A and B are shown apart, each in its own frame.
Chain A
Amino acid sequence: MSTSDGKFGRYGGQYVPEALMPAIEELEDAYERYVLNNEDGFMDEFRQRLRDFGGRPTPTQYAERLSERYDRDVYMKREDLLHGGAHKLNNALGQVLLAKYMGKERIIAETGAGQHGTATAMACAHLDFDCEVYMGERDINRQRPNVFRMKINGAEVNPVTVGRGTLKEAISETMRDWATNVEDTHYVIGSVVGPHPFPAMVRDFQSVISEEAREQMREQAGTLPDSVLACAGGGSNTMGAFAEFVDDDGVDLYAVEAGGSSLSVDEEKGVAPNSASLSTGGEGVLHGARTKLLQDYDGQIMESHSVSSGLDYAGVGPELAYLVDENRATPVNVDDDAALEAFHRLSRMEGVIPALETAHAFAYLENNHEDLGDTVLVNVSGRGDKDLESVIEETEKRGIENAPDMSMFSGGLR
């Protein structure tokens, strides 16, 4: 799908400061040689490490009680079982290994939920790299377990205090570090965003998800799914889950975005109480790519919102924007409340505690299962251990119906 000029239809491109362009050209070259052409056996080593270090393949599991509830076959691709607890390691390990092949000495990364930061910190410890992670201050507060994990793996965590202190600011700050230290540093971007070749390369590292799932569905269900659901922040688990199904015309692809508290925007304050850039955004240029963005009339980027840090971003990967324009993928969204309910539902009914990001996909399944066909595949992008504190707080605030009584935790965990 990616073309040699790094464009997906009208999206993509390389909108970065000149100082970074030589590094990006170097990366393009490395991507073509090592990733696309398996030079020096790069892809073989990557696959091997994904097995031994990462624990791949992850299962595709038949969800018995959800299938009963929705009266159709529901399967779950269990990326929460990947080392680190989310799909993020597929990309982080790929990029850190690539940095090694390229002879880089230092790794930097941004993180929202801390899952990508954690995966990068683990990959850096595994492959012996120095690692610095930029994380918005607000996200540091709501994803503390991951901050601990990064530090324990030896990474430095740099708080970003400008703006609202979420993923957008963390990416900007990591780009500034890269522009300063570009000669020996590789920026491990955490999703299918940024300048070419990142969106294509991250998709390629993540597409192992759908490569396995497609085979597993064939074997276990004897059929391909009628629909695939994945949550979408930047869209890396989404593209990973979609990639190998894109050419299967009978498979509908749903990118589930964070509807936050409302789909409306406050132009005056520059705030969108959601992160639904595919559903509601306009075309623009941010962080190196032309894509769909939450922005005001003038083109100033809006502050997004979601109960889940990993979806809290004003942009989205250019290839997803393209698939949506081509009517190949359908953008949908669910709000914070529905995601929290789905979090508790999946935990109770299937014994799988999902990440709050992932819970969005299950909330869409709850509300719209009748339109999704006989066989549904949901990507469980990550596990929810990192979210427990937020979930307790947000659940108490809302009085979510299917939630356990959380009052025993009041004050005790904070």
Chain B
Amino acid sequence: MSRIPEAFADGPAFIPYLAVGDPDYESSIEYVEALERGGADVIELGLPFSEPIAEGPTIQNAVVRALEGGMTPTRFFEFVEELDVDVPLVCMTYYNLIYRYGGERAERPRAFVEKAAEVGLDGFVVPDLPAEEADPLREACDEFDLDLVFIVAPTTEGQRLERIMEQVSGYVYVQARLGVTGARSDVSTQTDESLGRLSDWDVPKAVGFGIKTGEHAERIVAGGADGIIVGSALVDIVAEGHENGDSAEAVADRLEQKARELSEGAEKGFAQRTPHPERT
């Protein structure tokens, strides 16, 4: 049973992402738990796939580290079971890992979803699965009461929006700009346009791609987003810690701090919204 709707019930949702197993299993557990302490409302857990076509260099490298560290779908599910966090958890991965889970004789993709429900995951984001190809996964999610999040891109319009609206649940992932994932120094103007197109959707709208600072988070939530998704800016901290040989504890502290900056930014942005009429 998905717990995602509760996460959006009071105030904006801060949704951090990390690649699970980056750079190793044990540190990764500490990092994810640090995100919750820093104010995460939902956590996106990346199950690393060898061909991450939607990712920029930051997350590509995280995926390489995680795979070299021995991360597999089986280990991923163990990881989720072992995690000591109370917020909803979303699995972000590519379709082939979902499709292949359980071997040739398994009922696919149901087997993956069944296992995900069993270990306590709440939903999925699958960047290479557009609405056209999503029926089998959507059905399995319905059976186990899990959510299936879809990405809406700056190029998504008209009929495509409607097709996605029919399939989406949990939240809609509003892609803030064209391109691949990666932290940026500015907020894209494409964000406001995308949010505008979705204004009459009931499902919460979380904006991601390129968000790096508390100030970005503030502006985006003030502009109407119900949540923010941040990946690369956090993965950068893991990467740097790994390169410098820092202790997992030190890296976890930095992640917690960054998470706090971002979640507080989101809260500030929320406070600026109606019913606060002084906002121009």
Contacts and interface: CB of A to CB of B under 8 A. Distances in A.
B223 interface: no
A122 B64 CA distance: 36
B198 interface: no
Interface in A263-303: 270, 282, 284-288, 293, 295, 297-301
B178 interface: yes
B178 A182 contact: yes
Contacts of B74: 298
B180 A15 contact: no
A13 B53 contact: no
Nearest to B100: A299
Contacts, number: 121
B143 interface: no
A176 interface: yes
B237 interface: no
Nearest to B155: A22
A172 interface: yes
* Max count, chain A CB within 10 A of own CB: residue among B95, B100, B103, B157: B100
B130 A22 contact: no
Contacts of B51: 168, 172, 286-287, 301
Interface residues of B, number: 44
B179 A179 contact: yes
A63 to B, nearest CB: 40
B211 interface: no
A160 B50 CA distance: 15
B178 A282 contact: no
A223 interface: no
A21 B94 CA distance: 16
A15 B97 CA distance: 13
Nearest to B128: A15
B133 A13 contact: yes
A158 B205 CA distance: 36
Chain A: interface size category: 35 or more
Interface string A165-186: 0001000100110011111000
A181 B72 CA distance: 33
B180 A179 contact: yes
Nearest to A297: B103
A340 B262 CA distance: 59
B274 to A, nearest CB: 30
A23 interface: yes
Q: Which secondary structure characterizes the binding site on chain A?
A: mixed
Interface in B131-181: 131-133, 150-157, 160, 164, 175, 178-180
A19 B95 contact: no
Contacts of A288: 128
B63 to A, nearest CB: 10
* Max count, chain B CB within 10 A of own CB: residue among A15, A16, A22, A287: A15
Interface in B11-61: 49-56, 60
B155 A182 contact: yes
B187 to A, nearest CB: 17
B96 interface: yes
A19 B209 CA distance: 12
A186 to B, nearest CB: 14
B60 A162 contact: yes
A15 B133 contact: yes
* Max count, chain B CB within 10 A of own CB: residue among A23, A282, A285, A293: A285
Nearest to A284: B96
Given A299-B96, A300-B49, A18 B153 contact: yes
Contacts of A222: none
Contacts of B178: 19, 179-183
Contacts of A19: 151, 153-156, 175, 178-179
A333 B153 CA distance: 42
Interface in A1-24: 13-19, 21-23
A294 B67 CA distance: 17
11 contacts: A14-B132, A15-B128, A17-B53, A21-B130, A21-B160, A297-B100, A298-B72, A299-B99, A300-B49, A300-B50, A301-B51
10 closest Cβ pairs, A-B complex: A299-B100, A19-B153, A180-B179, A299-B96, A300-B50, A22-B155, A285-B96, A301-B50, A18-B153, A18-B151
Interface of B: 49-56, 60, 64, 67, 72-74, 94-97, 99-101, 103-104, 127-133, 150-157, 160, 164, 175, 178-180
Given A18-B131, A22-B155, A180-B178, 17 more contacts: A15-B133, A17-B54, A17-B153, A19-B156, A19-B179, A22-B157, A163-B50, A168-B51, A172-B51, A176-B55, A179-B180, A180-B179, A180-B180, A183-B178, A282-B104, A286-B51, A297-B100
